[in-house]
């Protein structure tokens, strides 16, 4: 069995990783898209939690796929799963799960 990847968050401590676009944050609503409806009560594998904003979704729709151009615009960054769900709650207006 392989060891599960963890990330150290200054707010939440040692948590599971999640990946978001550079535009998602904990202060401003910018939209929230994810490939499936995630649930904070579930533990996801290393690469499952990922989300992007309205601007990134517009680029993604125009280009048609994630590629060098859309990924350069998104500038994906690593956050903890708790921050991910906090951003989801901010953008969607309710607590997921």
List, as one string, the DSSP characters of the chain.
-PPPP-EEETTTEEE-EEEE-TT--SSS----B-SS---TTSPPPTTT-EEB-HHHHHHHHHH-S-SHHHHHHH--EEEEHHHHHHHHHHHHSS---
Whether 55 maps to a domain, the answer reads: yes
Whether 30 maps to a domain, the answer reads: yes
pLDDT at position 36, please? 95
What's the average model confidence in pLDDT over 56-83?
97
Range of the domain at 73: 15-36+48-92
Q: For residue 97, what pLDDT band results from cuts at 50, 70 and 90?
A: low
Separation between Cα atoms, residue 14 and residue 55, nearest integer Å: 30
Whether 52 maps to a domain, the answer reads: yes
pLDDT at position 45, please? 79
Whether 41 maps to a domain, the answer reads: no
Whether 71 maps to a domain, the answer reads: yes
Whether 66 maps to a domain, the answer reads: yes
What's the average model confidence in pLDDT over 15-28?
97
Q: Is the pLDDT of residue 81 over 90?
A: yes
| Number of structural domains in the chain | 1
What's the average model confidence in pLDDT over 55-83?
97
Whether 79 maps to a domain, the answer reads: yes
What's the average model confidence in pLDDT over 51-77?
97
Whether 72 maps to a domain, the answer reads: yes
pLDDT at position 1, please? 40
Q: Is the pLDDT of residue 91 over 80?
A: yes
What's the average model confidence in pLDDT over 15-35?
97
């Amino acid at each position: 069995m392989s060891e599960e990847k963890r990330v150290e968050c200054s707010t939440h401590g040692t948590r599971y990783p999640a990946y978001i676009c550079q535009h998602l944050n904990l202060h401003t609503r910018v939209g929230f898209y994810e490939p499936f409806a995630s649930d904070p009560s579930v533990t996801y594998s290393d690469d499952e939690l990922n989300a992007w904003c309205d601007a990134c979704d517009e680029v993604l729709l125009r280009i048609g796929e994630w590629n060098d151009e859309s990924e350069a615009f998104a500038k994906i960054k690593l956050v903890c799963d708790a921050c991910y769900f906090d951003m989801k709650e901010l953008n969607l207006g309710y607590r997921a799960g």
